[in-house]
Structure formats: C-alpha cells, structure tokens
Structure 1
Amino acid sequence: MRADVSKHVGAATVLALGLVCSTWLIKHTVIDVKAMERTVQVKGLAEQEVPADTVIWPVFYKDADNDLDVLIARVDKKNAAIRAFLVLQGFNGDEVSVTAPSIVDKFAQEYSQNERGFRYVAKAGITVFSRSPDKVRTALSQLSELAKQGIAITQDDYQNRVEYMFTGLNDIKPQMVQLATQKAREVALKFAKDSDSQLGKIKSARQGQFSIRDRDSNTPYIKVVRVVAGVEYYLSD
C-alpha cells in the first residue's frame, strides 16, 4: 500500500515539474516571438514622366441648313476637305476614320419649334487614332487652313477634346516597383537608425495601384506615372 502511495506521489511530482518546465518554456518562447515581431511599416514613392504614345483626335464640326439634302452634301464635301488636310499632315488611311454624322431635326422637337434658325443641325467629322502624338500637335497648329475653307473645328467641347494616352506601362513597371521599394528601404533604414535598431528582412510587401495623369493642363501629351510600394521590415536590437 505504501509502495502504491509513493508511486503515485512520485508520478504527481514528475507531472508538476513537467508543467512548470512547460510553462517556463512557453513563456520564454512567447517573449522571443514578440521580440522577433518588432517591425516597421514604410512606404516608397516612384514617379516618372513619360511622353504620350497614342492619341485620339476627334476632328469634328457643326453645320446647319433648312434643306437636308444640301446639308448632307456639304457635310460630305467638308469631310473630304478634312481628309485631304490630314493626308497633307502625314496621316495615313489606317489612322483616319469617318464618323457618321449626327443630324437633329429641330422641328421634330416640341421644345424648340418656336426657336428661330435652321431646321437641321449636323455634327460630323473624322476621328484620328494615331501612335504619333507629335503629328497631331503639328496638325492642331495648322487648323486655320480648314477655317479658310469654312470648316470650324470644335475644340472646346469635352467630347471633342484631344485625348493623349500612354500605353507602355508594362515596359516600365519593373524598374518603377524597384525604385519604390528602394525608397521604402531608405525610409526604414533611417527609422532603424533613429531608434537604435537594426533593419532586418522584409516581413511583407504590397504594391499599390499605378496611376497615370497629365503633368498639367497645358501639356496633356506629357504623362506622370506614379506607384507607391508598402513594405514591412523586421527590427532587432
């Protein structure tokens, strides 16, 4: 009987010691993990100016007449004049497409029956889609040649504005992400130095969305590409 009691007491003692040791190990392991989890989150910005490589130019105008047949004939004549002008400016047939005219019959609209003026109003023109923005910029400076032929190109309408685009984002993505990451590391290094810490490995990294915008309202053919990289680094003493 005494042997059984001693046996149970010994087992209980061993179990208690095991629990104490396990608790000590867990406690110090948690402390070590928390020490490893000291991190700093930083962001790095990369920006690059690039020239637009694609352009859409609606060469549109408005015309009006009371005779629909006369109006359509004049639209065809003006479209031919615009096409000839564009050929002289160096555009080829693949870059130019004629847009079907939009014609409004004012007499068919109740709210405008009492208005004076022409019955039929047409909006027509040609759309240029080109990989040569410089040619468009040169042609824009020569629009007075069309004005001399009685063709007033609409430019102040938002729908008729020249749209410059940059389509080479994939070509510059890698170096921009690299630059943004380098900028983030510079910030992290300064933080580590100021806090008397050592910068460790990357814990996580996030690439932000790329954005492309006009440099300013006067130079829409120059774009600014921007990306922000977020990086989290480990810190150590």
Structure 2
Amino acid sequence: MNEALGKHIGAAGILALGLVLSTWLIAQTFQDIKSMERTVQVKGLAEQEVMADTVIWPVFYKDADNNLEALVARLEEKNSAIRAFLTLHGFNESEVSQATPSIVDKYAQEYGQNERGFRYVAKSGLTVFSHQPDKVKLALGQLSTLAKQGIAITQDDYQNRIEYMFTGLNDIKPKMVQEATQKAREVALKFAKDSDSQLGKIKSARQGQFSISDRDSNTPQIKTVRVVTSVEYYLSD
C-alpha cells in the first residue's frame, strides 16, 4: 500500500512539474513574440478651404428718448425702413425675422437715477438667416443708405456680429479622411525606409474630429476644415 501510494504521489508531482514548465514556456514564448513586435505610430493631416454656405446677420440698432410713445413709434418706422432695405437687396420674407424690441427705463433702476441722458434706451432690429452669403456682402456695402435715414446699425457688438457657417461637411468628409490616411502612410513609409524596415499592415487607426474655423479675422466667410488621422503600422526587417 505504501509503495503504491508513493508511486501515485511521484506521478502527480511529475505531472504538476510538467504543467509548471509548460506554462513557463508558453509565457516566455509570448514575451519573445511581443518583444519582436515593432510598430510605428504616425499622423496625417488634411486641410481644405471652403466658402460659407449659410449666414446669420443681426441688423440691430439702438435708440433713446424721454418719451416712450415717441420712441416706440420711431422703432416701428426704423424697422420698416430696414425691412424695405433688405427686400431691395434680394432678401425674401422667409429669410428675415423681427426681434422683440428691448427697452430699458433708466429711472426704474436705482443705480441709474442720477445719470444724465435719455430716460428710455431701446435696442431693436431684424435678423437675416440666409443660404446666400453673397447677398449679405453686397448689402453691407450699402449700409450708408440706412445711416442717411438716421439708422446706425450696430456692428462692433459681439452679440450683433455676423456669423458665417459651413454646413456641407458630410459632402467632403470621405475625401478628406482618405487624404489624411494617405499622408499618414507616406510618413510611415519614410520612417520605415530610414530605419531599414518594411512597412506592414495597419495595427490600429483612429480618425480625429473635424474642425471648422475662420481662415482669418478679415474673411470669416472663408472657412478652413481640418482633420487628423492617427494610424499605427507594423514594422518588419
């Protein structure tokens, strides 16, 4: 009985040792394979200039008076004049909306009771939303027509700035992604050549977010679209 038990224990020990050795060999082989794996990570940039296809133009002005009734009547007259001006420059009713006038009574504000000037200060105007930015450009060049009617359009206020937008991103996305990927591959090929390696298949790839920005502060209607693609390639000797 003792001899048989000893044989069983010996066999179990040998089996356990074999399993440990096998596990160790597998781990070592895996580590060797990982150590032999070489990759290179590169980025490719694609840029394209496009013209804005949509514009939001707040045509706003300010006015003031001590007589509220007279001020409101003048706002109505000026808004009608602005609407006529916009119609003359090719904007239809669907492109123009009138905002609710904002009127402040300075006498109703404690901090403004001692200030000199008009009691009522108003801000009013219309907003243009159009898919023809060129019409806005032409109309801007004729704002002196409104100035001669006593309507000074506010343009330096951040809230009243003209906003140009590009909405056709989906149409140019595929071509730009392709261009960015090609540029990334060119960089990877150059790296492989300089390191005496062969460029292999793609291990992973990631497309960055598209960004749309003004080309410069003087031409906000011209936009720059950018995208960066990150690609990781295998390398071999």
Give the TM-score, by structure 2 length: 0.91
Match of 1:204 in 2: 204
Deviations 1:168-212 (A, max 9, x none): 111111111111111111111111111111111111111111111
Q: Distance in 2 between matches of 1:51 and 1:95?
A: 20
Deviations 1:75-119 (A, max 9, x none): 000000000000010000000001010000011111111111111
**Other structure's SS at 1:164 match:** strand
**Unmatched runs of 5 consecutive residues or more in structure 1:** none
Match of 2:229 in 1: 229
Partner amino acid, structure 1, of 2:57: W
Match of 2:32 in 1: 31
Q: In the superposition, relative to structure 1, how do residues 157 and 17 fare at CA in structure 2: closer, same or farther (>3 Å)?
A: closer
Alignment map for 1:76-91 (pairs within 5 Å): 76-91=76-91
Q: In the superposition, relative to structure 1, how do residues 10 and 138 fare at CA in structure 2: closer, same or farther (>3 Å)?
A: same
Q: Distance in 2 between matches of 1:170 and 1:195?
A: 38
Partner amino acid, structure 2, of 1:61: Y
Partner amino acid, structure 2, of 1:104: V
Q: Distance in 2 between matches of 1:163 and 1:68?
A: 32
Q: Distance in 2 between matches of 1:229 and 1:201?
A: 16
Q: Does 1:52 align with 2:52?
A: yes
Tell me how far 1:25 sits from its aligned partner.
5.7
Q: Distance in 2 between matches of 1:112 and 1:236?
A: 77
Q: Distance in 2 between matches of 1:119 and 1:18?
A: 94
Q: Distance in 1 between matches of 2:10 and 2:66?
A: 115
Deviations 1:38-94 (A, max 9, x none): 111111111110000110000000011111111111000000000000001000000
Q: Distance in 1 between matches of 2:97 and 2:22?
A: 83
Partner amino acid, structure 1, of 2:153: I
Match of 2:70 in 1: 70
Tell me how far 1:19 sits from its aligned partner.
6.4
Q: Does 1:213 align with 2:213?
A: yes
Q: In the superposition, relative to structure 1, how do residues 27 and 69 fare at CA in structure 2: closer, same or farther (>3 Å)?
A: same
**Other structure's SS at 2:101 match:** strand
**Other structure's SS at 1:78 match:** helix
- Count of residue pairs brought into register by the alignment: 235
Q: In the superposition, relative to structure 1, how do residues 236 and 70 fare at CA in structure 2: closer, same or farther (>3 Å)?
A: same
More displaced stretch, 144-153 vs 3-12: 3-12
Tell me how far 1:33 sits from its aligned partner.
3.8
Match of 1:151 in 2: 151
Q: Distance in 2 between matches of 1:236 and 1:73?
A: 81
Q: In the superposition, relative to structure 1, how do residues 24 and 141 fare at CA in structure 2: closer, same or farther (>3 Å)?
A: same
Partner amino acid, structure 2, of 1:220: P
Q: Distance in 2 between matches of 1:70 and 1:119?
A: 12
Match of 1:99 in 2: 99
Q: In the superposition, relative to structure 1, how do residues 22 and 77 fare at CA in structure 2: closer, same or farther (>3 Å)?
A: closer
Give the TM-score, by structure 1 length: 0.91
Q: In the superposition, relative to structure 1, how do residues 9 and 137 fare at CA in structure 2: closer, same or farther (>3 Å)?
A: same
Match of 1:195 in 2: 195
Match of 2:173 in 1: 173
Q: Distance in 2 between matches of 1:18 and 1:113?
A: 92
Q: In the superposition, relative to structure 1, how do residues 108 and 8 fare at CA in structure 2: closer, same or farther (>3 Å)?
A: closer
Could you tell me the percent identity over the aligned residues? 72
